[in-house]
Amino acid sequence: MKELKILAVVVFFTLITYYGVEPYAHHQMHKKVDAKGNEIVYEFKDFKYPDLKAVAAKGDATAGKAMISACTGCHGIASQKMKAPMDASASAGAYGVNPPDLSNAGAVFDEKFLIHFIMDPVHTAMVAHKFKGNKQYPMPVVAPDAQTAANIVAYLKSIAPKEITPKEAFVTACGRCHADRYGKWTQIGDVPKTKPNIVTHQDPQMLAFQGKVAEYQDHLAKYMGKLPPDLSIMIRARSEEFMQNFIENPQSQLPGTAMPRVGVSKEGFEKVIAYLEETGDPSKPKRAAVGPWVLGFFFIFTLLAYLWKQSQWKDLH
Ligand code: HEC
Ligand code: HEC
């Protein structure tokens, strides 16, 4: 009985120490401070972007469609059979980054955000600190008035699918800047399925593709100041709270960062996270299912160990 008591005491203090130290360390490591050293506490806004004024203008999709050539000079809309004028690498050469295909934009981005973005991309994306003086943001102000912008957004929403896949959300919102190695995604598209030559073992198609990716990444790194990180394991390295706050407002977590506020809607965010989870942590559902079994095992094991100990000591007392 004495040993059991000692064990209980040890377990008790181990748990206290764990609970005391772990969240504390967690908090300290993720502490964010501004330039003056004051701690930043960011209040999550549920992807509602309250700093952007509500737009009264009601969008007219037909009028928006008539205006869409103002966008397709740079962006493709594959679902409407409108091809981007240049491929990804050439676009990055021209703009620093490939303008995303707009087929799913109406389903991924917040409507109010999009209207403001079309009227004033730099401030809406919160990257004015990066684009000042003669350094111009590559997307111009196409429609400075709310009615025209709302019409274009109404059109984008009218062509957007009702339901999009996690991958489509990721590609539209993040894929032009971030690769996802586990998802076999590069900034210029999916890694192609190629076959090396059986005799020489060389894979010229793959080499050509990798060359294009490298070329794209060079342009992107120059444009962004650094190559945006591969997101394969980011979902494991960062807490969910960090991801929410960071994607809703990157400046709130990394003041001065070059990553824009991309303006995903709440559903858009959930799809993006689903993609990162499914590619970065594919065994998560399996692990979760195993959990109760492991706990059950420990319970039975402890019980047996206890009974065994009782039977051993019985004769000695
Ligand atoms: C001169 C080329 C050009 C034109 C014209 C243009 N864009 Fe863009 N657009 C870009 C580039 C480049 C980016 C990516 C910028 C970046 O990520 O830093 C972009 C980004 C976007 C994004 C992504 C925004 C986000 O939050 O991630 C949307 C949506 C968009 N454009 C919509 C439009 C619409 C709608 C029009 C027409 C009204 C349009 N663009 C016209 C070049 C252009
Ligand atoms: C226009 C390019 C661009 C787009 C679009 C973009 N990012 Fe980023 N992202 C960056 C850059 C650049 C960095 C590096 C930031 C830094 O270190 O300042 C970054 C960093 C990150 C980080 C790492 C933050 C950290 O803790 O170091 C995460 C996570 C991330 N992005 C997620 C996303 C997600 C999710 C999306 C889509 C919803 C997205 N990004 C869209 C450019 C982009």
- Contact yes or no for 73/102 (Cβ under 8 A): no
Residue identified by tokens 């586990």 is: 182
pLDDT at 24: 60
Ligand nearest to the CA of 225: 2
- Domain range annotation of the chain: 31-282
Give the Cβ contact number of residue 281 at 10 Å. 15
From residue 101, alpha-carbon distances to 88, 94, 104, 123, 172 in Å are 10, 16, 8, 22, 7
100 lines ligand 1 (CB under 6 A): yes
Measured in Å, residue 159 CA sits from the centre of ligand 2 at 27
Closest residue (by CA) to atom 6 of ligand 1?
Answer: 71
Measured in Å, residue 202 CA sits from the centre of ligand 1 at 38
Mean pLDDT lowest among 31-35, 117-121, 244-248: 31-35
- For residue 292, name the pLDDT band (cuts at 50, 70, 90): confident
Averaged pLDDT, 233-245: 91
Q: Over pLDDT 90: what percentage of the chain? A: 74
pLDDT at 19: 74
122 lines ligand 1 (CB under 6 A): no
- For residue 89, name the pLDDT band (cuts at 50, 70, 90): very high
Measured in Å, residue 186 CA sits from the centre of ligand 2 at 14
Give the Cβ contact number of residue 178 at 10 Å. 21
Averaged pLDDT, 64-84: 97
Model's pTM, two decimal places? 0.85
Residue identified by tokens 């993040």 is: 174
